[in-house]
Amino acid sequence: MESWMNALPTPCYVVDEARLIRNLSLLKSVSERSGCKVLLAQKAFSMYSLYPLMREYLHGTAASGLFEARLGTEHFGGETHVYSPAYKAEDMAELTRLCGHVIFNSFAQWERFGQQALDNGCACGLRINPECSTQTHAIYDPCAPGSRLGITAAQFQPDRLDGITGLHMHTLCEQNADALATTLRAAEEKFGAYFRRMQWLNLGGGHHVTRPDYDVDLLVSELVRVRDKYGVQVYIEPGEAVALSAGWLVTTVLDVTNNGVDIAILDTSAVCHMPDVIEMPYRPPLMDAGQPGDKAYTYRLAGPTCLAGDVIGDYSFDAPLKAGDRLAFCDMAIYTMVKSNTFNGMPLPAIAVHGRDGKSRIVKTFGYEDFKQRLS
């Protein structure tokens, strides 16, 4: 583990500024090469203390509802786009004031709220569903049979497009550019006739652009092809790619026990602080650790909550673990802070930044009042 991590309180999310800038620079180069506009998908990463830095590289933010729209408008600036499977009537006045682009999930929502959005100067779009699944995680597949996300070709009503200037699709999750190429062609086959009637196309997120093996050239060529073929402004909304491999979750070992296997109980929790570990599920990488049995000492790492399944995974180490040891889980900037919770009264992790100057600073800490204020 990096020595500077020993000075942090635990548990603590820490974002590495240099790594974040590396990702942002690559995304900016994609924009410059293709002419597309790149928006931050706040659902993945909403560390607004870093928005002033990020807006030097990105064009704006994508929101999933009113609170994210406010956060993006107030702290990021630039363009603010919003999409929700269904909007609440009482939110629309503020949403249409905050957002330049409003994307509807159905023609019924467009009919109900479209005129209000147009009257407030919003560009209005519809989310389409090309029904082309290219992934194996059903929980993250917007194109799965029976999905509520987007309008299928069978439900599309081209006679109700007056006032619609764009179409939106989000079909990917942590995927390479070949999956985009596949799903784009499926979308063109079903909806291409309407693309030429649009001013913009939003290709959503799930593009793992900053992953080492990502085919950036293929992405750029697809973005340029769509732009030139249909004469539209193209948008993408990466979330994970913005902060991929740019953060850690630092934790402390509280106790070591044994029940047929050696178990280390930590002051962090899978269910509270990294819920995707449970939802996907997956085993997060851990600094200086190996697969079970690779190194001399293997432990099951688990959280302190009452949930029996609050288990992060099995890892091996060069030396025995003991109370007070520090560990650092990798790639913990994305879908962590935005999904953390206080189940069992678990404290929320502190949030820190490791700066380009090599110094770390605590951005925010949480305490009892943060737990209490969510209850009544």
Splitting the chain (376 residues) into consecutive groups of 10 residues, what average pLDDT does each group show?
91 98 98 98 98 98 98 98 98 98 98 98 98 89 95 97 98 95 97 97 97 98 98 97 98 98 98 96 96 98 98 98 98 97 98 96 97 95
Q: Token pair of 276, please?
A: 């995707």
Query: What confidence score (pLDDT) does residue 267 get?
Result: 98
Query: Are 85 and 149 contacting, i.e. CB atoms less than 8 angstroms apart?
Result: yes
> CB–CB of 303/312 below 8 Å?
yes
Residue ranges and CATH numbers for the domains of the chain are 3-14+247-332+340-372 (2.40.37.10), 35-243 (3.20.20.10)
- Considering only CA atoms, which of 79, 118, 116 is closest in space to residue 99? 79
Q: Is 211 exposed, middle or buried (0-12, 13-18, 19+ CB in 10 A)?
A: middle
User: Could you tell me the CA-to-CA distances from 218 to 23, 105, 150, 200 in Å, in that order?
Assistant: 18, 29, 25, 20
CA distances from 170 to 7, 41, 253, 319 (A): 41, 12, 40, 45
**Nearest residue to 264 via CA among 289, 233, 239, 228:** 289
Task: Render pLDDT for 170-201 as a digit per residue (tens, 0 to 9).
Answer: 999 999 999 999 999 999 999 999 999 999 99
Which pLDDT score, from 0 to 100, does residue 277 have? 96
Which pLDDT value is given to residue 234?
98
pLDDT at 1: 74
Nearest to 42 by CA among 341, 245, 278, 334: 334
pLDDT tens digits, 84-93? 999 999 999 9
Strand partners, 297: 317
Q: How far is CA 256 from the centre of its chain?
A: 33
Q: Which pTM does this prediction carry?
A: 0.96
Is the bond preceding 158 in cis, omega lying within 30 degrees of 0?
no
How many H-runs (helices) and E-runs (strands) does the chain carry? 11, 16
pLDDT of 2 reads: 86
Distance CA 358, CA 126 (A): 45
For position 136, what pLDDT does the model report?
A: 81
- pLDDT for residue 155: 97
